[in-house]
Structure 1
Amino acid sequence: MNNDSNKNHINIGLIGIGKIGRIHILSANELHNTKFIAVYHPDMIKAERFADTYNVEKIYDDLDEFLALREIDAVDICTPTHTHYEFIETCIKSNKPILVEKPITRTLEEFDHVVELINRDKNKLMVAQYCRFIPEYKMARKIINQGKIGTPINIKAHRYVNAPTYKNWFFNEKLSGGIILDLLIHDIDAVIWILGDEIESIYSCVNNFNLKEFDTPDFASIVIKFNQGTIASINGAWILPKNHYTPNSIDSMLEIFGNKGIIEINDRNDSKMKLFNIKQGFQLMSTDPLKIYKAEIAHFSNCLLKNKSFKMDFKSIRLSLEACLKAIESYKKSEPIKI
């Protein structure tokens, strides 16, 4: 990144022009500290069409030329999961900070190698773990750390969405990790991050209701037992009916039951948070209105501008990836897996 103390925004180069790349650009358009100035895609026609639509100045179909552009301060990787490792490795060698969409890599071996590559500079890479930037989830974590609901006993979460039929690579488990690694990593990571605990064991079972042609699960149910006794039940589906009544056609819920209170966060209530504890009864909690994608991109740029470390714990990021991979192993073996 250019070391200019007077710089007030970060110029980002985008790798990947699919749905998440579009979301990142649209989110950044509302930020004062971030601007997407270049895009890379091997198909120049698609890149030009994307750049015209989203007003991106520079277009490249050569990755080396793209990364050599001095005006690019950082890179945002929004490509299919199985390509993350190769792009991360190349971008690290170019000495540009990286924002990468979840999951960071497809395998633990790739993750460990990435961490080795960035060990000299921990501020080299940030993973866009979406749920860590949801204001209500951040508040839930704070409430638990303050002991307001006592000891967390049980956590229930679900995430139901429409099947991502715009790209078939999602349904190839070797490429995407399937419904567990692509979708439920959101909730698995959120629970791990909120609790701050290690996992004892994980068990999962799956089914295929609507995606028979792809021979891949479209529903998964996961049970995680944590070292301190909390049991989490997490369900996910790629079969939410179209035109569902929740925002963005995502039906998600998180409920944390403690021995002194309960936290409930539910998309059906416009993501309002309800907190109950013994002393105060039920409360409706006010939350930060900043949208989630805007929040994570703004954090990335702000840390670079102020030379601060990203709020990113690679130990918990690794545990989230490992938990997803063990959940996949569990359903294939039909048995609980120790971690």
Structure 2
Amino acid sequence: MLDLHVGLIGAGVMAQTHLEAWITLGARVSVYSDDGRHALLATTHSAHGVEAAPSLEHLLDACALVDICTPTGSHKELILAAVAAGRHVVCEKPLAMHPEDAQEAADAAARAGVRLFPAHVVRYFPEYEALHRAVTAGAVGTPAILHFTRTTAYPDWSPWFRDDTQSGGILTDQMIHDFDFARSLVGDPVRVYAQVRESQDGDGRRIAAGTAVLTHATGAISYFHGLWGQPGTAFRTTFRVAGSDGLLHHDSHRTTAFRVLAQPAGGEDDRIPPVALFANPYAAELRDFARTVTTGRPPRVTAHDGVMAVRIAEAARESARTGRAIDLTAEEATR
């Protein structure tokens, strides 16, 4: 059990998911959000010692570390505020909308001597952990071709998802998970090409599909397909990694799982993926960060990883906008 006081900022779906994980880990939690929903969230979980903070300043003064679960556009300023207060920070992905902002946040944390941890939860799903162990142990030889898919219903529970200037759309909000994971397997990409297609039916319901191709410095090529589908679309992920000595693949529809408590069961409200009963990845990632704070042990995901994920996602958005491949080495030179 963790002897930590966590300041949770936000009261939406991901905040509820993180809160459940912190409760499981035994942390004390204070919660705050600008819209006031934190009071209801705290009341709902008061039996576990969760309390509502009267202000952001009060939360930053009282807690040992900060967990940011707010819309993407607010991440940088909240990170900077927490870092200025000397607090370690875990922030839901992505760290920011733009790589310059993500880098500014990472640099500020480094100067202050505090940890900044991007919550890329896919790295903690058991099937992805198993893939990472196998590939790094040489199970497929030299990885050459990687293929990832990710499908869920369009995230319409908050209006900011519909505004690409706030969410980054499917490439940044959804597919960044797989961009980050591919990079963890085969290193930095040097070129990005992407396309996005969006449509809307007569009832105003949206769907969006994204594709992307990353060419990595190692010579490996990663392919990605993302879908935000119609209401009721089941959450599904797949991956295939082929190398000189073999092939590894996985399909989440073949995995028995349960749904975390923060998510309504089934129907049109599939918001976050089901997770395996024996290993809740949200608790695993927060435990990893807490151990980093308390022991100094390096975390699985670093601030630099978070910055690079944002950089890849922005290059993908630029490619989709212009119709051309984006050379990341050239982008680095212009920065």
TM-score for both structures, normalised by structure 2: 0.85
Q: 2:129 maps to what in 1? A: 138
CA distance in 1, matches of 2:185, 2:5: 32
TM-score for both structures, normalised by structure 1: 0.84
**Are residues 298 and 317 of structure 1, via their aligned partners in 2, closer, same or farther at CA, if it must alter by over 3 Å?**
same
Q: 2:20 maps to what in 1? A: 26
CA distance in 2, matches of 1:42, 1:106: 20
**Are residues 8 and 207 of structure 1, via their aligned partners in 2, closer, same or farther at CA, if it must alter by over 3 Å?**
closer
Q: 1:194 maps to what in 2? A: 185
**Are residues 140 and 15 of structure 1, via their aligned partners in 2, closer, same or farther at CA, if it must alter by over 3 Å?**
same
User: In the alignment, is the contact (CA less than 8 A) between 1:41 and 1:61 conserved in 2?
Assistant: no
Q: 1:327 maps to what in 2? A: 316
User: In the alignment, is the contact (CA less than 8 A) between 1:133 and 1:295 conserved in 2?
Assistant: yes
How far did 1:11 drift? 1.4
User: In the alignment, is the contact (CA less than 8 A) between 1:85 and 1:114 conserved in 2?
Assistant: yes
How far did 1:121 drift? 5.4
CA distance in 1, matches of 2:297, 2:112: 12
How far did 1:261 drift? 0.7
Runs (4 or more) in structure 1 with deviation over 6 Å come to 211-217
Unpaired runs of at least 5, structure 2: 258-275, 329-335
CA distance in 2, matches of 1:293, 1:306: 20
**Are residues 333 and 156 of structure 1, via their aligned partners in 2, closer, same or farther at CA, if it must alter by over 3 Å?**
same
Q: 2:224 aligns with which of 212, 224, 234?
A: 234
How far did 1:209 drift? 2.9
Q: 2:297 maps to what in 1? A: 308
Q: 2:97 maps to what in 1? A: 106
Q: Deviations along 1:241-267, whole A, 9 cap, x unmatched?
A: 50x5xxxx3111111011211111221
How far did 1:268 drift? 1.0
Pick the structure with greater CA Rg.
Answer: 1
User: Quick check: 58-67 or 86-95, which moved more?
Assistant: 58-67
**Are residues 212 and 204 of structure 1, via their aligned partners in 2, closer, same or farther at CA, if it must alter by over 3 Å?**
farther
SS at structure 2 position matched to 1:268: helix
Alignment of 1:1-339 (within 5 A): 8-32=2-26, 34-36=27-29, 38-44=30-36, 46-55=37-46, 57-69=50-62, 72-120=63-111, 123-195=114-186, 197-210=187-200, 218-239=208-229, 242=232, 244=233, 249-270=234-255, 289-339=278-328
CA distance in 2, matches of 1:241, 1:232: 29
CA distance in 1, matches of 2:69, 2:241: 31
Unpaired runs of at least 5, structure 1: 1-6, 273-286
User: Quick check: 306-315 or 20-29, which moved more?
Assistant: 306-315
**Are residues 318 and 211 of structure 1, via their aligned partners in 2, closer, same or farther at CA, if it must alter by over 3 Å?**
farther
Name the aligned partner's letter for residue 108 of structure 2. Answer: L
Name the aligned partner's letter for residue 258 of structure 1. Answer: G
User: In the alignment, is the contact (CA less than 8 A) between 1:326 and 1:337 conserved in 2?
Assistant: yes
SS at structure 2 position matched to 1:106: coil
**Are residues 213 and 230 of structure 1, via their aligned partners in 2, closer, same or farther at CA, if it must alter by over 3 Å?**
farther
SS at structure 1 position matched to 2:222: strand
**Are residues 100 and 212 of structure 1, via their aligned partners in 2, closer, same or farther at CA, if it must alter by over 3 Å?**
farther
Q: 2:333 maps to what in 1? A: none
CA distance in 1, matches of 2:320, 2:207: 10
CA distance in 1, matches of 2:57, 2:182: 39
CA distance in 1, matches of 2:10, 2:167: 15
CA distance in 1, matches of 2:142, 2:78: 41
Give the RMSD, CA atoms, in angstroms.
Answer: 2.4
**Are residues 58 and 250 of structure 1, via their aligned partners in 2, closer, same or farther at CA, if it must alter by over 3 Å?**
same
User: In the alignment, is the contact (CA less than 8 A) between 2:207 and 2:230 conserved in 1?
Assistant: no
Q: 2:260 maps to what in 1? A: none
Query: How many aligned positions are there?
Result: 308
User: In the alignment, is the contact (CA less than 8 A) between 1:9 and 1:305 conserved in 2?
Assistant: no
